[in-house]
A and B are shown apart, each in its own frame.
Chain A
Amino acid sequence: MSDPGHPVDLSALAADDPNPHAGDPTVNTTATVTTRTPEAIQAGRIDPVERPRAVLGCTDVSVYYGDFRAVNEVTMDIGVHEITALIGPSGCGKSTVLRSLNRMNDLIPGTRVTGTISYHGQDIYAKDVDPIEVRRRIGMVFQKPNPFPKSIYDNVAYGPKVTGMKTSNMDDVVEESLRGAALWDEVKDKLKQSAYGLSGGQQQRLCIARTIAVKPEVILMDEPCSALDPIATARIEDLMMELKKDYTIVIVTHNMQQAARVADRTAFFTAEAAEGNGDRTGHLVEFDLTSKIFSNPGDNRTEDYISGRFG
Chain B
Amino acid sequence: MSQLSAGAGTSTPSRGLRPSPDRPSLTSSSPRRLEKAAYGFLVLAAGVSVLTTVGIVVSLALPAFQFFREVGVGEYLTGTSWTPRFTEKSYGVLPLITGTLWTTAIALAVCIPLGLGAAIYLSEYASTKVRKTFKPVLELLAGVPSVVYGLFAVTFVGPVVLKQWFGIEVQTFSVLAAGLVLGVMIIPTVASLAEDAMSAVPRSLREASYGLGANRMRTVLRVVFPAAVSGIAASIVLALSRAVGETMIVTMASGSQAKIVTDPLEGGQTMTGFIASAALGDSVQGSLQYNTLFAVGITLFVLTLIINLISIRLVNRFREIY
Contact of B223 among A137, A148, A151 (CB under 8 A): A148
Chain A residues, CB < 8 A from B205 = 146, 148-149
Q: Which of B128, B206, B209, B218 makes the CB contact (< 8 A) with A109?
A: B128
Q: Say whether B147 faces chain A, with CB atoms less than 8 Å apart.
A: no
Residue interface mask B222-241, A partner, CB < 8 A = 1? 11001100000000000000
B5 in the interface (beta carbon within 8 A)? no
User: Is the pair A104, B210 in contact by a Cβ cutoff of 8 Å?
Assistant: yes
Q: Kindly list chain B residues whose C-beta atoms are within 8 Å of the C-beta of A102.
A: 211
Confirm or deny: B2 has a beta carbon within 8 angstroms of a beta carbon on chain A: no
Closest residue of B by beta carbon distance from A155: B208
A148 surroundings in chain B (CB, below 8 A)? 205, 208-209, 223, 227
Contact status A107-B127, CB under 8 Å: no
How distant is B322 from chain A, measured CB to nearest CB, in Å? Answer: 5
Interface residues on B, range: 20 to 34
Pick the contact of A214: B212, B219, B227 (CB < 8 A): B212
Q: Is A231 an interface residue (CB 8 A)?
A: no
Question: Do B212 and A139 touch (CB < 8 A)?
Answer: yes
Q: Which of A107, A149, A158 contacts B212 (CB 8 A)?
A: A158
Contact with B along A33-71 (1 / 0, CB 8 A): 000000000000000000000000000000000000000
> Residues 141-183 of chain A: 1 if any B CB is under 8 Å from the residue's CB, otherwise 0?
0101011111100000011001100000000000000000000
Q: Which residues of B contact A135 (CB under 8 A)?
A: 210-213
A210 x B322 contact (CB < 8 A): no
CB interface residues, B 190-208, toward A, < 8 Å: 202, 204-208
Q: How far is the CB of A178 from chain B (nearest CB, A)?
A: 15
- B residues near A162, Cβ cutoff 8 Å: 209, 212-215, 218-219, 222
Tell whether A132 pairs with B226 under 8 Å between CB atoms, given A107-B206, A162-B218, A207-B208: no
Given A109-B127, A149-B227, the answer on whether A132 and B209 have CB atoms closer than 8 Å is no
Q: Looking at the assembled complex, report how far the CB atom of A156 sits from the nearest CB atom of chain B, in whole angstroms.
A: 10
Q: Which residue of A lies closest to B219 (CB)?
A: A162
Q: Is the CB–CB distance between B213 and A107 below 8 Å?
A: no
In the bound complex, do residue B212 and residue A211 qualify as a contact, i.e. CB atoms below 8 Å apart? Answer: yes
A-B contact number at CB 8 A: 76
Nearest CB on A from B218, distance (A): 4
Interface contact B213-A159, CB-CB below 8 Å:
yes
Q: How far is the CB of B11 from chain A (nearest CB, A)?
A: 47
Asked if A250 is at the interface of the complex by the 8 Å CB criterion, the answer is no
Establish whether residues B211 and A104, one from each chain, have CB atoms under 8 Å apart when the complex forms.
yes
Tell me if A133 is interfacial: C-beta within 8 Å of chain B.
yes
* B322 contact from A104, A142, A149, A207, Cβ within 8 A: A149
Interface centre among B127, B202, B212, B227 (most CB of A within 10 A): B212
Count of interface residues, chain A, beta-carbon cutoff 8 Å: 28
Q: A109-B127, A146-B204 are in contact. Are A132 and B211 (CB under 8 A)?
A: no
Find the residue from B128, B204, B214, B223 having the highest chain A CB count within 10 A: B214
CB-based contact A210/B204 at 8 Å = no
Interface code B124-164, partner A: CB below 8 Å = 1, 0 otherwise?
00011000000000000000000000000000000000000
A136 at the interface (CB under 8 A from B): yes
A210 to chain B, nearest CB (A): 7
For A213, the closest partner residue in chain B by CB is B212
> A139 to B210, alpha carbons, bound, how many Å?
9
Given A146-B204, A148-B223, A194-B322, also A107-B214 (CB < 8 A): no
Complexed CA–CA distance, A310 and B206 (Å): 35
In the complex, whether A262 has a CB less than 8 A from a CB of chain B is no
Cross-chain contact B213 with A163 (CB below 8 angstroms): yes
Looking at the assembled complex, report how far the CB atom of A53 sits from the nearest CB atom of chain B, in whole angstroms: 24
Nearest neighbor of B216 in chain A, beta-carbon distance? A132
Known: A109-B127, A109-B128, A149-B322. A140 touches B222 (CB 8 A): no
Q: Which residue of B lies closest to A159 (CB)?
A: B212
Q: Distance in Å from the Cβ of B133 to the closest Cβ of chain A?
A: 15
Q: Give the contacting residue for A150; candidates B127, B207, B214, B322; CB below 8 A.
A: B322
CA distance A137 to B211 in the complex (A): 10
Question: What A residues does B227 contact at CB under 8 A?
Answer: 148-149
For the complex, give the distance between the alpha carbons of A104 and B212 in Å. 11
Contact of A144 among B204, B209, B214, B222 (CB under 8 A): B204
Q: What distance in Å separates the Cβ of B255 from its nearest Cβ neighbour in chain A?
A: 47
In the complex formed, the residue of B with least CB distance to A210 is B212
A132–B222 touching, CB < 8 Å: no
Residues of A58-91 whose CB lies within 8 A of B: none
Query: Which residues on B sit within 8 Å (CB–CB) of A149?
Result: 205, 226-227, 322
In contact, B222 and A158 (Cβ under 8 angstroms) = yes
Q: List 11 A-B contacts (CB under 8 A).
A: A107-B206, A136-B213, A146-B204, A146-B208, A147-B208, A149-B322, A162-B212, A163-B212, A210-B208, A210-B212, A214-B212
Given contacts A104-B210, A158-B212, A163-B212, 18 further A-B contacts (CB under 8 A): A104-B207, A107-B207, A107-B210, A132-B215, A133-B213, A137-B213, A142-B211, A148-B205, A148-B209, A149-B226, A149-B322, A150-B321, A159-B213, A162-B209, A162-B212, A162-B218, A163-B213, A194-B322
Q: Enumerate the 8 nearest inter-chain pairs by beta-carbon distance, A residue then B residue, closest first.
A: A136-B213, A140-B211, A159-B212, A146-B204, A162-B214, A162-B218, A163-B213, A135-B213
